[in-house]
Each structure stands twice: as C-alpha cells, then as structure tokens.
Chain A
C-alpha cells in the first residue's frame, strides 16, 4: 500500500506539472491570451501619442538608454483619436521633470518599439497619475519611404547633380 501511495503522488505531481506547463503555454505566451500580471511597485504616468506603431504592453521605458520602467497599458482615446499609453516607472526614478519628452523609438534595425524619455528642465517631478505632455509618435518606416519617393518623383527624377542644384536654388529662393 505504501509503494502504491508514492506512485500515485508521483503521478499526480507529474500530471499537475504537465497541465500547469500547458496552461502557461496557452495562456501566457500568445498575445490574445489571458495575462496574469503581478502588480509591481512604482508609479504610473500617462502619455498621449498620435501613432504608437507596434508598441506593446511590457515594452521598456528608458532614459538615456537606461531601463527605468515599462509600458503598463495601452488604450485608445475615442474623443481625441489618440493612443494613451500608461507607463509604470520604477520607484527609485522619482525625479523625472514634469516637462519631460517621450518618444517612441525602435531597437536596432528590426527590433521592437520602446519609449525613450528625455528629461525636461522643470524642478517639479512626475508623480502617480501624472501626464507627459510632449510626445513624438512612432516613425513608420513605410510612410518614411513613401515620403522619400514622393519627394523624389515630384522632382521628375533626373540625376543627382541637377537635383542638388535644384535644392540649392530652392533654398536661395526661400531666402
């Protein structure tokens, strides 16, 4: 009977572990799955963006390249048609000026988006529920390329030298 008991406990543990792993894979990994987020310490600030690109919840927030927090939530403001991003900043970084500037940047060539914060000059600091007013949207590569080609084709092609000359005359005429 004793040996039977250990066998059943062992099997039970194995099955439990297996289903826990399956549950983790199906709910935690896919983006549309349920998320069990542990509440982390720190304070939350909000920032509005015209376009957040493919910024995702959990993406890092950095200042001068140093990780200071993460994106805690993203929602759509249906009145202003803007994306409102909630940032959770680690508690030790409590001296971020209120007029700081948040921009969405890209990690490396193919990397994901993250939020870079550049400090402002005010003496008052961001607090829980605060708001970063100055923001810059994500740069969408396709629209950038489109703009480039649009400006290129509007000049009717031509070789680079004549284009450079063209630019020069434009600048001069502006003056």
Chain B
C-alpha cells in the first residue's frame, strides 16, 4: 500500500515535515552550546536584523501611511475620524507589523541564509567541517537560526512604531485630525495584551521563517540549481506558513 504511493506527493510532503521537525529538535539541542559563541550570533543578528532595517522602516512608513489614508476614508463616512489612531494602532500591532515584517524577512534575510548555507553545502564546506570534527549544525546553522529569532521581534517593534508615525503623518498632518484626539483615543483602547499579541506573533514567525531558511539551505541539493530551488522554496514556504500561523495565533488570542 505504502509502496504504491512510494514517491507520491503526500508521502513526500510528510517526509519533508518530518525532516523539518527532526532538524528543529537537533537545532534546539545545538542552540545552548551555540550561545557560548555570542560573537557568531551577533554577526547573524547584524546580517538578518541590522541589514534589513532600511527595508523594514521604509515598508513600515508606507504601510502606516496607507492605513491612515484608507482608515480616514472609511471612518469619515461615520463621522468618527478620530478613531483612526485606534484603528491604525490595533491593525499595525496585531496584524500588519508581524505579518508584513515576516514576509519581508523571508524575502530579505531568509533567502540570504538559504543561499549562503546552500552554497556552503554545494562547495563541500559543511563536509569539510565535519571532517575536522566541527559540528556545522552548531557553528553554522544554530547561530543563524538564533540571529533570525532574536532579530524578528525587534524588527516588528520598529515596523509598528514607524507605521504609527506614518499613520499620524497622513491622519494628523495631511487630513487634519486633532493630534490629541488621535493619540488619546489610541491610548484609551490599546491594551498591553494587544502589544503582547504582536510580540508573540513576531517570535513565532521568527522561529518559523528562520527554521525554514536554515533547513532549506542545509538540505539543498549540492548544485547551482539545487541552491536556486532551495531559495525559492524558502520564500514560498515561509510566506505560506506565516499566513497560516497568523490565522491560528489570531484565533488563539481572541
């Protein structure tokens, strides 16, 4: 029975899932020893976080501005444009900042991770490390994973704050909503729970996106085509998993 679908689509999917799960457990085991080399992790935070800063800030600004524009257009029909602050803050904190940041992270940092590790695999660098009794999982994969996981919540927080000021730029400066009303209504209706929801989402997305990127690179076919394929799979899988997890987490927090 199993043999008949031996190379079947479903079995291949299950195999992939199992491979990721096993890799995740092994990676977690290597994370603690990896912490003893903080310099490696700092380097990866720089690669995944600091170098994504410009694109995150620019996207945050424009997402906030669009939110301000759309929210204003909608709210003015009900004559309550002052609620724009609330709408922008809740929309950014709970949904837009974690999801858009995760998608951008997959495209900007995830692909870099996958192709870097994939090329290491293709040029036999990982095999060379193994021969020298250096665990590539500990010195290559784990720092990159940890760097991504640590960078994501910070990127999401920066995205949220820039987005809020983008919404204020449109709502207050351009459309003329009262600044005090904009902020006081926002502060009146945003609870600490909403901020926590965004942070939890960002941590989960950070784990998912970094895990997929590192896994795909680590298991890429050692050819130029294999690395290209793995990079593509990273973006596709990260984006789909992010949106799927977003629904699950939103449902859990309601």
Contacts and interface: CB of A to CB of B under 8 A. Distances in A.
Interface of A: 7-8, 10-11, 13-15, 17-19, 21-22, 24-26, 28-33, 54, 56-60, 67, 70-71, 107-112, 114
Top 5 A-B pairs, shortest CB-CB distance: A18-B154, A58-B184, A108-B79, A21-B157, A14-B50
Contacts, number: 129
Nearest to B147: A11
B180 A29 contact: no
A107 B75 CA distance: 12
Interface of B: 42-43, 45-46, 49-51, 53, 78-83, 89, 93, 151, 153-155, 157-158, 160-161, 178, 180-181, 183-192, 194-195, 198-199
Contact of A32 (B49, B82, B192): B192
Contacts of A67: 178, 180
21 contacts: A7-B42, A10-B50, A11-B43, A11-B45, A11-B49, A15-B45, A19-B154, A21-B154, A21-B157, A28-B187, A29-B93, A30-B195, A33-B192, A56-B188, A57-B184, A58-B181, A58-B183, A60-B180, A107-B82, A109-B80, A111-B81
B129 to A, nearest CB: 22
Contacts of B180: 58-60, 67, 70-71
B205 to A, nearest CB: 15
A29 B195 CA distance: 9
Contact of A60 (B93, B155, B181, B191): B181
Nearest to B196: A26
Contacts of A31: 187-191
Contacts of B81: 108, 111
B188 A11 contact: no
B156 to A, nearest CB: 9
B158 A21 contact: yes
B83 A110 contact: yes
Given A8-B42, A21-B161, 11 more contacts: A14-B151, A29-B89, A30-B190, A30-B194, A31-B187, A33-B187, A59-B184, A60-B178, A107-B79, A109-B80, A111-B181
Given A17-B154, A112-B181, A29 B186 contact: yes
Nearest to B184: A58
Nearest to A62: B178
Contacts of A107: 79-80, 82, 181
A9 B192 CA distance: 31
Contact of B53 (A14, A24, A28, A33): A14
Contacts of A112: 82-83, 181, 184-185, 188
B22 to A, nearest CB: 31
B79 to A, nearest CB: 3
Contact of A109 (B78, B185, B186, B188): B78
A25 B45 contact: no
Given A11-B45, A29-B190, A112-B188, A17 B195 contact: no
Contacts of B186: 29
B46 A110 contact: no
A108 to B, nearest CB: 3
A111 B195 contact: no
B46 A30 contact: no
B32 to A, nearest CB: 21
Contacts of A28: 187
